[in-house]
Amino acid sequence: MKVKQKSLNLKTGKQGEVKAKKYIAKKLKYKILETNYQNALGEIDIIAKNKDVIIFVEVKSKTTLDFGAPSEEVTPKKQDKIRKVALLYLKEKSLTDANFRFDVAEVLNDELNYISNAF
């Protein structure tokens, strides 16, 4: 049963990332720089750019609100980890002077709620 649930969670997460990526590129008209970017400290779902701002996007997807909204999964501990991964990304790409922000795309079934400057 746990394997089936994990597989369902991965599928839900992947579908959410695809939906968020389309929204960011087509609706917001941001340039997608990276998806599923990984470094030694962790992963960032989507890295985009709008004008001179680098945007680090965490995507959270759920099928029910039984355990809270998807965005509630981006806890202070998770935020700290994302910040560290982002700072290493900026250093690796020689973008340490760049403007940047952290957004959250929460997907509940087919609905997407995009939160700019989430943290």
- Residue-range domain boundaries for the chain: 2-115
| CA pair distance 5, 9, nearest whole angstrom | 6
Rounded to an integer, the average pLDDT of 92-97 is 95
Choosing among 3.40.1350.10, 3.90.1300.10, 3.40.50.2020, 3.40.190.10, the CATH entry for 2-115 is 3.40.1350.10
pLDDT in tens, 50-87: 999 999 999 999 999 999 999 999 999 999 999 999 99
What is the pLDDT, as a whole number, of residue 110? 87
Number of neighbouring beta carbons within 10 Å of residue 88: 14
What is the pLDDT, as a whole number, of residue 74? 97
Model confidence at 101: pLDDT above 70 = yes
Instruction: Determine contact, residues 69/107, Cβ cutoff 8 Å.
Output: no
